[in-house]
Amino acid sequence: MGAEDIQKRNARQQVWDKENTVHVSIKLQKATDADIIEFLDGKSKQTVIKEALRRMIQEG
């Protein structure tokens, strides 16, 4: 795969991402959020957060 092909693929991916995704960021403080940081360490943060939010939604 050439450099031009990679650039085209990246451009298509950026368009798709812009149309279909939302970026959400979270800032954790080492001192006050150490328990959260430790819990997330080594896990897929995106998956853990999505599962937690979906559980919260179901619980109302």
pLDDT tens by residue, 25-55: 999 999 999 999 999 999 999 999 999 999 9
Q: Against a cut of 0.85, is the pTM above it?
A: no
What's the number of CA atoms in the CB half-sphere (13 Å) around residue 56? Answer: 6
d(CA 6, CA 28): 34
**The two three-digit tokens of residue 13, written as one number:** 């991916």
Nearest to 28 by CA among 13, 41, 43, 11: 41
- Cβ atoms of 28 and 36 within 8 Å: the answer is yes
The pLDDT score that the predictor gives to residue 1 is 78
Q: Name the 3-class secondary structure at 17.
A: helix
